[in-house]
Chains A and B, each alone.
Chain A
């Protein structure tokens, strides 16, 4: 039944400034790469239709601003995300360190139903550069600690591994989406928490 329905997958790309978020998205969606750095202001999305397990799905990929000065706008678009891509630059250790806070911040703002099992994908970008300084092992270790996040090393410039990484993103996002659908299929959920609070209030105000 659900396979006939058109599926929209919402993917958020996060990471420090200049790690290549926009380049990754552009390489994946438009098959283009530019050497010029242009800071992203605010957020924007591109869409791409892909086949995942014989299903046609539309991916809505949100590219974000990494620079703090452009973060005055809100992140309401985190809400309802199906997968989050964390990007760092393999030649800049600081960008790897801040993955932790990007992940935390995402989980707090997006508040997914099941934070522990929310699908993340970590991408170490710029492997074409020679001055690599974050060992793959260290990144893999970190991913293992966080409930086995899939890890990819890519080069948006040379188009290395980009397709594979996003294929995994789509796959995991779709799995998450189906789970949500299943969850939503029950009609008339009984919201225990709300009811309890309502009851408590009633007790407070009613005299009988």
Chain B
């Protein structure tokens, strides 16, 4: 019966143009139901209520709907509220269960830490020392490494950077707007900062108090992308945690962001070539029984994005490229895979190409060879010299075209 009621009212809702419910009305309903919406805990989006609270509120809401007059504005508001509550309840139920012991707060997954003797940590919330000897005393977020006292958890203001599903970097170099734009308050905790005691975060260009900015150093993605500059800069705690969390994620489409970088940075160009060749090798290894059985592609586990595409980079990639280790590693992987395809594996070798434009019939070519060219239409491979000589005229494409014509 209640469902019929809701449906009839909902149908009316669609027709009614003035169906919008004002905030005050909703708040009045909330007050009557004895619930509150915690707008500050947006990332969790759960009204600050658990399942039983919500079920209680839903039951209350139903009763109130029966009590109101049919087709009244009040009923309309209540029905809206009811659907909203049900939706929230469903969302809450659909979420994967949080493992015991873990506290969820503002997107953080705070795990209780074991007592340790040696190291001491500083609480990200109160900036006080954490006495790590006491069991159950402190927690750490498994995504962003936020460390806090047990007692400080309800006071946390900074939401976890893991909340954003598709995180991106700010790619403008430190755009300072000035203290006045922040009303002389800290960019995070809104504590008033005086002119002498502010600290600037080089990542987002905001000013912070000493509690929210510990003078941590971090490499700034914008500075790398624009200037190939890896000098660590001072950043606030929030930026530090964000940058650290994203460091290994391949989210920089470097060529689209700054194509000129590839002209000036020799090793970047070299890495791009190696990655393109790895992608071509992938075609072979995915079709090869032996490679699949021996899980040859697993040697790329460390950098899985190298298997998927060749134009996305993580900040860690670029740091390692700068210090030379990435190029050594990639060359090693490249050579190992090439050795499998060209020498060790009969199946892979069988799937090499023969240049259809010259007499060198017994030389097997591979698309990832430096001396070969690939037809963009049919992926046939030729000697680069032959392909140039024939001005990019692909023999296989021509044969196909003539056959089509004959049909």
Question: Which residues of A line the B interface, CB within 8 A?
Answer: 41-45, 62, 65, 70-77, 79, 97, 101, 104-105, 108-109, 111
Q: Complex Cα distance A71/B361, Å?
A: 20
- How close is B356's CB to chain A, nearest CB, in angstroms? 7
Knowing A44-B347, A108-B399, the reply to whether A76 touches B287 (Cβ < 8 A) is no
Q: Complex Cα distance A71/B14, Å?
A: 54
Please state if B379 and A72 are interface contacts (CB–CB under 8 Å). Answer: yes
Number of A-B contacts (CB under 8 A): 66
Produce 1/0 per residue, B334-374, CB < 8 A to A: 00000000000011011111101000011011100000000
Q: Of the candidates B349, B354, B365, which one forms a contact with A109 in the assembled complex, judged by CB atoms under 8 Å apart?
A: B354
A79 partner residues in chain B, CB cutoff 8 A: 354, 361-362
Task: Sample 21 A-B pairs with CB under 8 A, ordered by A number.
Answer: A42-B283, A42-B351, A43-B350, A43-B351, A45-B346, A45-B347, A72-B379, A73-B283, A74-B351, A74-B352, A74-B365, A74-B380, A75-B351, A76-B351, A76-B354, A77-B349, A101-B403, A105-B399, A108-B356, A109-B354, A109-B356
B273 partner residues in chain A, CB cutoff 8 A: none
- How close is A166's CB to chain B, nearest CB, in angstroms? 20
Q: Is B286 interfacial (CB 8 A cutoff)? A: yes
Q: Complex Cα distance A72/B364, Å?
A: 15
Q: Complex Cα distance A70/B366, Å?
A: 16
B351 partner residues in chain A, CB cutoff 8 A: 42-43, 73-77
Which residue of A has the minimal Cβ distance to B381?
A: A74
- B interface, over-half SS: mixed
B379 partner residues in chain A, CB cutoff 8 A: 71-72
A108 partner residues in chain B, CB cutoff 8 A: 356, 399
Which residue of A has the minimal Cβ distance to B374?
A: A72
Please state if A42 and B287 are interface contacts (CB–CB under 8 Å). Answer: yes
A71 partner residues in chain B, CB cutoff 8 A: 378-379
Nearest 9 CB-CB pairings of A with B: A42-B287, A77-B350, A74-B353, A72-B379, A76-B352, A73-B351, A41-B287, A76-B364, A74-B352
Please state if B350 and A76 are interface contacts (CB–CB under 8 Å). Answer: yes
Please state if A74 and B354 are interface contacts (CB–CB under 8 Å). Answer: yes
Q: Is B284 interfacial (CB 8 A cutoff)? A: yes
Q: Is B321 interfacial (CB 8 A cutoff)? A: no
Knowing A73-B284, A74-B353, A76-B353, the reply to whether A44 touches B289 (Cβ < 8 A) is yes
Q: Is B288 interfacial (CB 8 A cutoff)? A: yes
Which residue of B has the minimal Cβ distance to A65?
A: B287
- How close is B205's CB to chain A, nearest CB, in angstroms? 47
Please state if B403 and A62 are interface contacts (CB–CB under 8 Å). Answer: no
A104 partner residues in chain B, CB cutoff 8 A: 399, 403
Interface core residue of A45, A71, A74, A105 (most chain B CB under 10 Å): A74
Interface core residue of A42, A43, A44, A97 (most chain B CB under 10 Å): A42
A70 partner residues in chain B, CB cutoff 8 A: 287
- How close is A75's CB to chain B, nearest CB, in angstroms? 7
B366 partner residues in chain A, CB cutoff 8 A: 74
Which residue of A has the minimal Cβ distance to B400?
A: A101
A72 partner residues in chain B, CB cutoff 8 A: 283, 379
A76 partner residues in chain B, CB cutoff 8 A: 349-354, 364
Interface core residue of B284, B350, B362 (most chain A CB under 10 Å): B350
A41 partner residues in chain B, CB cutoff 8 A: 286-287
**Contacting residues of chain B (306-321) with chain A, CB-CB under 8 angstroms:** none
Please state if A42 and B353 are interface contacts (CB–CB under 8 Å). Answer: no
Q: Complex Cα distance A190/B380, Å?
A: 33
B283 partner residues in chain A, CB cutoff 8 A: 42, 72-73
A65 partner residues in chain B, CB cutoff 8 A: 287
- How close is B293's CB to chain A, nearest CB, in angstroms? 12
Given contacts A42-B284, A70-B287, A79-B362, 15 further A-B contacts (CB under 8 A): A41-B286, A42-B283, A42-B288, A42-B347, A44-B287, A73-B284, A74-B353, A76-B350, A76-B351, A76-B352, A76-B354, A76-B364, A77-B351, A101-B403, A105-B399
Which residue of A has the minimal Cβ distance to B362?
A: A79
